[in-house]
Amino acid sequence: MDRRVVLVTGGSRGIGRAVCLLMGRRGCAVAVNFASDETRAGGVVDELAGAGSPAVALRADVSKADEAAALVDGVVERLGRLDVVVNSAGIERSGFLIMTSPREWEDVMDVNLRGVFNVTKAALPHMMDARAGAVVNVASLAGVTGLAGGVPYSASKGGVIAFTRALAKEVAPFGIRVNAVAPGMVETDMTAAMKEADRKRYEEMIPMGRFAEAAEVAEVVAFLASPAASYVTGETVVVGGGLP
């Protein structure tokens, strides 16, 4: 990839961090968005800078429209333009629906779905003016198959998949592509705290017998964001090790 400018939400950890590092290695300038952990985000920027990649860390709560708009403005101000948005910020709240409070439901929807809306809406005018751009949304296999004990998360990620499909049709005439990845179980902070018995049970369900590395998901994101995927839009690529 050439020196395009990429904004990665939730870029300080997990899949987002892996995407930042890979995009930097591919020659992009990278805006690392974070909500609270400035130290981690700064570490990603330092790693990118050490490899010769222009990078900035920008704080924003993507669930808030004004902060998302300021984030996009900050990317354009600091890095000159905006070519690619990777919506990777996300949270999960486990528990059966009957025990889920309205606040817990709203928290998940605000970050996972509203955040995608806020950032993408703010970025689109820049891409439409350029008549080019790519949006890659990090959804989840849970949004495809559903996950017992994770109804809010599944619903939010299913919403991201539908958002992706619909928006792709709206913005294709402007040369903008919108795609999603739907990872299964991935080695991240979210899965690191799993009980060993639960982990083993999931591994036995996965045909490849292991969780994905975040870098493996990042490779798919990078492909969808690249000119190599110039005729791909509205798609959701499952990265599930053989699932579902």
- Mind telling me the catalytic residues? 153
Half-sphere exposure (Cβ direction) of 242: Cα atoms closer than 13 Å: 10
Residue-by-residue DSSP string for 130-170: HT-EEEEEE--THHHH--TT-HHHHHHHHHHHHHHHHHHHH
Q: Is 243 within 8 Å of 184 (Cβ atoms)?
A: yes
Q: Is 32 within 8 Å of 45 (Cβ atoms)?
A: yes
User: Which amino acid makes up residue 164?
Assistant: T
How far apart are alpha carbons 209 and 216 in whole angstroms?
15
33: β partners:
58
